Structure formats: structure tokens, C-alpha cells
Chain A
Amino acid sequence: MKRDAFSGYHPVVNMLFFVSVIAFGMFFMHPVLQAIALVSAVVYSQMLKGKRALKFNLIYMLPLLLITAVINPAFNHAGVTILFYLKSGNPVTLESILYGVATAVMFVTVIIWFSCYNAVMTSDKFIYLFGRAIPALSLIFSMVLRFVPRYKSQIRRISHAQRSIGRDVTQGSPYRRAKHGLRIVSIMTTWALENAIETADSMRSRGYGLPKRTSFSLYRFDNRDRLALGILAGLLLVILAGAALGENTIRYFPSIRLDPYSSFSAIVYVAYFALCLMPVGIQILEDIKWRSIASRM
């Protein structure tokens, strides 16, 4: 996998991007905007994860899209354009089918955005962002993230030691195995708690909780991030203005009604497209830059 250029930006830029695309993805039911978001999310996930994303999108997302699209007309009978009647006597309407498709697209788009989020917003970025607002809780988060692999290796050690005295989960009758498993977990818990208190005492003796604490971070907010943040903010402004003026809304029930298309809506669409494809654009620019540098060498 190639390194994703957008991931190298400051966590604030990453977070703002994902918060906006996910929030907009949830809110905008307008077909043009939905199409823009879905296409961009698929392209970005493809770029981030290559074949794995293709598999994910085809095997999980496509059926999910179809199922979700079908659920709505089966349960929702609002709308004025009746197409036919179900056996139960309930009507199936054009509006409910289209609304079902729209929610399905929304749902799938958000999930794909989240899959990109998982690849870009690693836990260290999250902890960096929220370390100042919720220092104690983000400390807990980072400790948990550290403890899990640590406990796994500790369990392996305990299990090896137990195996040498014939008390591993692989030894004995099923009942004994379960008992051995519990015993290993119990040893691990005792160790974890004792170890935790030790950690806490060492934290205290090193001055945890004293004022004027500094924290280590790898992230620098440079001009590149400033530019990206500025562009992001400008696009958000246009899109939010569009939302305020009703360009992005659509009414499904009882009958479908869209705002008439205008030149302003074109601007909003372009802005939304630019926002959603921002990481992809950054990657392409980076590639061009790299190629031009590489060709000169």
C-alpha cells in the first residue's frame, strides 16, 4: 500500500474532514449530493486500502445497500404514487422506494466513510486531539490500548508456565481445561491489578497531576495544514450556506419535491464534491509532485 498523503496532515485537519463528511453524509438526502458522497467515499476507500476495500464494498456494502433499500417500502406506506399492493393490502409507493434507496445510500456512505476514518484517524491522533479537553479519560484510553497487547503477551507467559505443570487450557478433560482457563485468567487479573497499582504509584512519584504538564506529540501544524484547513473551511462555508438556503434538502413524503436547479446549486454541488474528494486530490497532487521530482533526478 502506498502511504496516504492526507494521513500525514495534522490531526485537526483529518478530524474536521471526517466530522464534516460523516455529518453531511447523514444529513443530506439530496440525490445529487448523495451520489457525490458515495462516489467519493468509495474512491477514497479504494485509494486507502486497495483490493481489501473493493472486497469490503462489494461483499458487504452492496448487499447491505440492496437489503436496506428493500426494507423501507415493505414497512413504509406513505407517499401518493401507488405502484401496486402487497398481499397484506398495504400499498407500495414510488416515494417509499426512492426514500428507501436514499437511506440505503446514506447508510452505506457513512459506513464507508467510517472505514476510511479507521484507516486515517489512528488512536494516537484521537488521543492527541482530545488530550487537552479530557486529559484523564484520554489517558485511560491510551492505557487501555496499551494494556490489551500487554495482557495478551502476559497470558501467553502464564499459559506457558502453567503448561509445564500440566495446567494449561490444552491439557486434561474439557471440564479441567475450562478450569485451567479460568485459573489463567485469574492469575492474569491479579497480576494486572498489582501491576496497575505499581504503575499508578510510579506515575504519582513522577508528578502526575501536577500543574504545568507538558505532553509529547509528533504533530506540527505547518503552512500546508493551514492551507488545507483554510480550503476546508471555505468549502464548508459554501455547503452550509447551501444547506441554510435549502439547496441540499429534499422532501419525500407525501410527494417528492426538490428545489429547482439554479446556478447556486451548481456551486454547492461543486463545493461538496471538492470537499469529499479533498484527500484524493491531495494524493494526486502529491503523486504529480513526486513524479516531477523523481524524473528530474
Chain B
Amino acid sequence: MPDQPKQPIRTHKLSSRTWLAALLILIVIPATILFGIFVLDDRKYYFISLLIILYTLVPFALVFEKRKPQARELVVIAVLAAIAVAGRAAFFMFPQFKPVVAIVIIAGVSFGAEAGFLVGATTGFVSNFFFGQGPWTPWQMFCFGIIGFIAGLLYRKGWLRRSRFSLCLFGGLTTLIIYGGIINIGSVMMFTPKLNWETLMAAYGTGFWFDLVHAIATVIFLFALSRPMIEKLDRIKTKYGLVER
């Protein structure tokens, strides 16, 4: 179908829950990281990275559990996460060339910021049941989650469009800057005892090409998948009357 997917009617007002989640992700988590660096004697990076899992998961989990999600909603999130996990598994032989971010972004755009976050974090967590859990799990969960969250948020605000160009641009940039930026900090914290500019720059230098491959993969997958996937998700939403929250 050559024509562009329709932009459905949507409100530009953000719910209080979205604001709470935004506050937690954008303020409380960085504050905890800084607390670990400056107050906990600069040494307990592992511990801090595990706290992040709590900060990212607990509020979302609480909010999500509290409103007693419908079965349909659960299953759709599980399907999207499963597709992302299967995608990560299918491309296991190409390091960094993975469709996960692309699918997470599509989920965020189609089903909103919270669903985007849940799909991302679930993918990071569950795929490591196949690839092995480790201290990197919380970092991956956070990175995938926040990209889905931002995608949903920006789409809601109308800054991110459903066009291929807009999605690819967003996907490439967020993978390179947000995913790469945060994951490299994570690996510095895991591998080296001292966080300073030199080591961080060294990590960004060595990690850059991996992040670039990842970003290119995201752009390619978004280019190929975004239109058919969004169309399908819209169709399911219309056909079964799933409401966007």
C-alpha cells in the first residue's frame, strides 16, 4: 500500500502517569547514578546499576499492575516483545546488527510511551534468558525501555511523525546517542573502577563503531518494517477496538 498510514486522532495532553514516569526516568535515575558516584565513594557502580533496574522497573511495574491491565493489552505487549526477542535471536551471528530498537520504537509509536517502555525493558530482560543474564541486563533494559518511552512521548507530542524519514532519523539518532551513550557508560562502570573522562572517551572511541552498526541496523529495520508493522498494529487496534492509553 503506497499511501501513508493515517495519523489517528489523538490528544496532545499527557496523563499524570506519563508525567510521573517521565520524572522518574529523566530525574530520579540520573540522580541515583550521581549519588553513587559522589556519595557512595565513587566505587559502587555495580550496585548503582542494579538500583537502576529497580528505579526503571518498580514504578512502571507498580503503575502497570495497579491499573489491572486487560488481557488484550498484556498479550499485545508480550507479542511485540517476543518479536523483538526473536529478532535479536535471529541475528545472533551479527554483533550489534539487531532489530530490537526498531521494534521498540514502533511499539512506542503505536501503543504509547508506557507500552514502548515495557516492550523495551521486557525484551532486554527476557532475551537475556536466552543469551545469559549478567550485570549488563539492567543497562540493556533501561536503554531499550527509554528509547521506546521517548518514541511514544515524542509521538504523542506530535514531534515524531509516522513517516519513514522521521522514524529512521529518530531511530538512528537515539540508537547512536541514547543507547550507545548509556551502554558505554555502563561498560565503563563495569570494566573499570574509576569513572573519568579519559576512560569514558576511550570507551566511546572503541564503542563508536559498534554503536554505528547498531544505529545503521535500526535505520534499515525501521525503513523496512515501520510501515507494514504500524499498519498491522493500527489494523489490530481498529479491528478489536484497543484503546490507546
Interface residues of A (CB under 8 A from B): 23, 26-27, 29, 68, 71-72, 75-76, 99-100, 102-103, 106-107, 110-111, 114-115, 117-118, 123, 134-137, 139-141, 143-145, 147-148, 151-152, 182, 185-186, 189-190, 192-194, 196-197, 199-201, 203-204, 208-209
Contacts of A68 in B (CB 8 A): 191-192
Known: A117-B133, A144-B123. 13 other contacts (CB 8 A): A68-B191, A76-B194, A107-B190, A118-B132, A145-B126, A182-B224, A193-B236, A197-B236, A199-B75, A200-B76, A203-B75, A204-B71, A204-B72
Cβ of B81 under 8 Å from chain A: yes
Contacts of A145 in B (CB 8 A): 126, 129
Q: Mark contacts of B216-243 with chain A using CB atoms, 8 A cut-off: 1 yes-contact digit, 0 otherwise.
A: 0000000011001100110010001000
Query: What separation, in Å, do the CA atoms of A19 and B126 have in the docked complex?
Result: 19
* Interface pair B126/A197, CB less than 8 Å apart: no
Q: List 5 A-B contacts (CB under 8 A).
A: A68-B192, A76-B193, A106-B46, A136-B69, A197-B72
* Interface pair A189/B232, CB less than 8 Å apart: yes
Give the top 7 A-B pairs by smallest Cβ distance, nearest first.
A147-B82, A143-B78, A26-B46, A103-B193, A200-B72, A200-B71, A200-B75
A148 to chain B, nearest CB (A): 5
Name, among A190, A193, A199, the residue most crowded by chain B CB atoms within 10 Å (CB to CB): A193
B168 to chain A, nearest CB (A): 16
A151 to chain B, nearest CB (A): 5
* Interface pair B193/A100, CB less than 8 Å apart: yes
Contacts of B86 in A (CB 8 A): 147-148, 151-152
Contacts of B65 in A (CB 8 A): 134-137
* Interface pair A196/B76, CB less than 8 Å apart: yes
Residue from the list A110, A111, A143 in contact with B74, Cβ < 8 A: A143
B15 to chain A, nearest CB (A): 18
Query: What separation, in Å, do the CA atoms of A72 and B103 have in the docked complex?
Result: 38
* Interface pair B199/A75, CB less than 8 Å apart: yes
Tell me the residues in window 162-196 of chain B with beta carbons closer than 8 Å to chain A beta carbons: 190-194, 196
B39 to chain A, nearest CB (A): 15
Contacts of A189 in B (CB 8 A): 83, 228-229, 232
* Interface pair B82/A148, CB less than 8 Å apart: yes
Known contacts A26-B46, A144-B81; is A115 also within 8 Å of B74 by CB? no
A180 to chain B, nearest CB (A): 13
Contacts of A148 in B (CB 8 A): 82, 85-86, 89, 126, 130
* Interface pair B82/A151, CB less than 8 Å apart: yes
Cβ of B68 under 8 Å from chain A: yes
* Interface pair B44/A196, CB less than 8 Å apart: no
Tell me the residues in window 98-123 of chain B with beta carbons closer than 8 Å to chain A beta carbons: 118, 122-123
Query: What separation, in Å, do the CA atoms of A71 and B191 have in the docked complex?
Result: 9
Query: What separation, in Å, do the CA atoms of A185 and B228 have in the docked complex?
Result: 10
Contacts of B68 in A (CB 8 A): 136, 209
Query: What separation, in Å, do the CA atoms of A72 and B192 have in the docked complex?
Result: 6
Interface size on B, residues (CB 8 A): 53
Query: What separation, in Å, do the CA atoms of A230 and B76 have in the docked complex?
Result: 42
Contacts of A139 in B (CB 8 A): 74, 78
Name which residue of chain A comes closest to B103, CB basis: A189
B53 to chain A, nearest CB (A): 12
Query: What separation, in Å, do the CA atoms of A29 and B47 have in the docked complex?
Result: 13
Contacts of A204 in B (CB 8 A): 70-72
Name which residue of chain B comes closest to A251, CB basis: B41
* Interface pair B228/A208, CB less than 8 Å apart: no
Contacts of A29 in B (CB 8 A): 43
Contacts of A118 in B (CB 8 A): 132-133
B100 to chain A, nearest CB (A): 13
Known contacts A140-B78, A144-B126; is A115 also within 8 Å of B132 by CB? yes
Contacts of B134 in A (CB 8 A): 111, 114
Contacts of B133 in A (CB 8 A): 114, 117-118
B9 to chain A, nearest CB (A): 22
Known contacts A26-B47, A27-B44, A193-B76; is A186 also within 8 Å of B194 by CB? no
A23 to chain B, nearest CB (A): 7
* Interface pair B232/A144, CB less than 8 Å apart: no
A189 to chain B, nearest CB (A): 6
Residue from the list A103, A135, A141 in contact with B192, Cβ < 8 A: A103
Name which residue of chain A comes closest to B64, CB basis: A136
Contacts of A193 in B (CB 8 A): 76, 79, 232-233, 236
* Interface pair A147/B71, CB less than 8 Å apart: no
Query: What separation, in Å, do the CA atoms of A207 and B202 have in the docked complex?
Result: 55
Tell me the residues in window 44-94 of chain B with beta carbons closer than 8 Å to chain A beta carbons: 44, 46-47, 50, 61, 64-65, 68-72, 74-79, 81-83, 85-86, 89
Name which residue of chain A comes closest to B239, CB basis: A197
* Interface pair A99/B75, CB less than 8 Å apart: no
Contacts of A76 in B (CB 8 A): 193-194, 196
Contacts of B191 in A (CB 8 A): 68, 71, 107
Contacts of B44 in A (CB 8 A): 26-27
